[in-house]
C-alpha cells in the first residue's frame, strides 16, 4: 500500500506564498498509475477538493476559488506532487491533505472522475496552513 506524507505548511501573511509537497512511498508501486489530489478542511466547513492531477496524462482540476493562484505539479523522479500556492488569502487557512487513487479504481476523465474526497482512497495526515490578514 502506498503512503503519503505532506509537508510545507506554515504561517504566512495574506498575499504570500507556500509550496506544499506530497511524497508517495511504498513497495513496488507505479507512480504513473496514480491520481493525486490536494484537499483542505477547516472548522465548520466540509472538506474541499483544491486541485487534482493525474500523473500519467496531466489531467488537472482546480476548484474555482484557487484558479490563477494555485498550481499543482508532479516530479516523477521524486514521486512527489506539489501545490504551489500564491497570493494566499485568509480564507485559504485550513489543514491541507493529499490523497491518492489509482487509475484502476477510477476512470480519469470519466463521469465519476472529479476532485472530490470520495473518489480518493489513501490519505496523508495533513499539514496546517494559516494565512493572516
For the chain, the C-alpha Rg in angstroms (whole number) is 14
Of 6, 3, 25, which Cα lies nearest the Cα of 126?
A: 6
Q: How many helices (H) and strands (E) does the chain have?
A: 0, 11
pLDDT above 90: residue 49: yes
pLDDT above 90: residue 65: yes
pLDDT above 90: residue 28: no
Model pLDDT for residues 1-20, shown as the tens digit of each residue: 899 999 999 999 999 999 99
Q: Are 95 and 41 in contact (CB under 8 A)?
A: yes
Amino acid at each position: 500500500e502506498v503512503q503519503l506524507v505532506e509537508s510545507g505548511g506554515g504561517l504566512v501573511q495574506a498575499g504570500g506564498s507556500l509550496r506544499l509537497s506530497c511524497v508517495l512511498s511504498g513497495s513496488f508501486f507505479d507512480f504513473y498509475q496514480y491520481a493525486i489530489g490536494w484537499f483542505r478542511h477547516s472548522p465548520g466547513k466540509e472538506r474541499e477538493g483544491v486541485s487534482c492531477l493525474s500523473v500519467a496524462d496531466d489531467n488537472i482540476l482546480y476548484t474555482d476559488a484557487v484558479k490563477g493562484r494555485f498550481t499543482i505539479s508532479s516530479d516523477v523522479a521524486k514521486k512527489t506532487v506539489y501545490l504551489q500556492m500564491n497570493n494566499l488569502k485568509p480564507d485559504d487557512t485550513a489543514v491541507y491533505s493529499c490523497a491518492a487513487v489509482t487509475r484502476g479504481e477510477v476512470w480519469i476523465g470519466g463521469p465519476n472522475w472529479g476532485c472530490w474526497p470520495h473518489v480518493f482512497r489513501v490519505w496523508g495526515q495533513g499539514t496546517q496552513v494559516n494565512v493572516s490578514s
